Amino acid sequence: MSANTLQIRNLTRAFGGLVAVDDVSFDVAPRRITTVIGPNGAGKSTLFNLISGALLPDSGSVRLGALDVTAMPPQRRQRAGIARSFQITNLFFGLTVGENLRLAAQALESRRHMVLPVGRSRRALAKVDEIIYRFGLGEKVRELAGNLSHGEQRRLEIAMCLACEPQVLMMDEPTQGMSHHDTQDTAELVRSLARDVTVMLVEHDIGLVMDLSDHVVVMHQGRKLADGAPREVRDNPAVQAAYFGN
């Protein structure tokens, strides 16, 4: 699957009188890491919901390459290549790591072929093996997902997203609640993912943001305050005033 630019144009969404996302436009370059930052309530999660399809905008558009996905429901958007990693909630705690991953991979195969004899898709199984290896979950294949550490569960969750072979992988605060060690592991993982897929993050740890991102988008009160290379954004006086509080 060729990589496409994700184009966010004039996205606007209000809740009653509150404009949570206000005329936001930017491009997300393929196979790069684009991170959305901003204080609580800035509109980051709403923006992610508009891109993944959990919410529809009042106006504006989302395109992946030539494909306009603006009005598509989340499932169709996922098929179009935009996948969002939800925090833990997609895991089946009573199933093993391997079973969780096989389900995710088989969901992809069944979408391609309509009918899939359960457990018979060789392609899906090969994919699962590759992902298990890549995510360092080899020793945990037979462990119940419910018995994994918090960091491992987050990793499994991202792995399941990847089993669907997305073009764009969206993660809202993937390191939230993680130990320093798990955060560093996740950063490494995100870096390696960006070799193949376009990554969009919401992340609070500003050190991590500066270290990891190719492109940073700063949100403030629903509006895009700035976007650009990490240092350029950090040194922007408007960003300093609004976000870093200097």
| Binding footprint of ligand ADP on the chain (CB under 6 A) | 15, 18, 20, 38, 40-46
Shortest CB 11 distance to Mg ion, Å: 16
Residues 169-198 that bind Mg ion (CB under 5 A): none
The region of 29-37, 45-53, 98-106, 231-239 touching Mg ion under the rule CB under 5 A is 45-53
**Residue ranges with strand state E in 48-197:** 59-64, 67-68, 82-85, 168-172
Q: Give the separation between CA 20 and CA 29, rounded to whole angstroms.
A: 24
What single-letter amino acid sits at 61?
S
Which of 59/192 has CB closer to ligand ADP?
A: 59
Which of 145/178 has CB closer to Mg ion?
A: 178
- Here the tokens at position 1 are 């699957």
Q: Give the separation between CA 85 and CA 53, rounded to whole angstroms.
A: 13
The region of 20-28, 41-49, 151-159, 228-236 touching Mg ion under the rule CB under 5 A is 41-49
Report how many residues bind Mg ion under the rule CB under 5 A.
2
Question: Beta partners for 100?
Answer: none
Question: Beta partners for 68?
Answer: 63
Residue among 28, 35, 45, 19 at smallest CA distance from 223: 19
Among 34, 45, 52, 213, binds Mg ion (CB under 5 A): 45
| Residue whose CB is nearest to Mg ion in the complex, by number | 45
CB 83 within 8 A of CB 165: no
Q: Is the dihedral of CA 174, 176, 178, 179 positive or negative?
A: positive
> Which of ligand ADP, Mg ion, none does 43 bind, CB closer than 5 to 8 A by kind?
ligand ADP
The region of 37-45, 70-78, 134-142, 210-218 touching Mg ion under the rule CB under 5 A is 37-45
Residues at the contact surface with Mg ion, assessed by CB under 5 A: 44-45
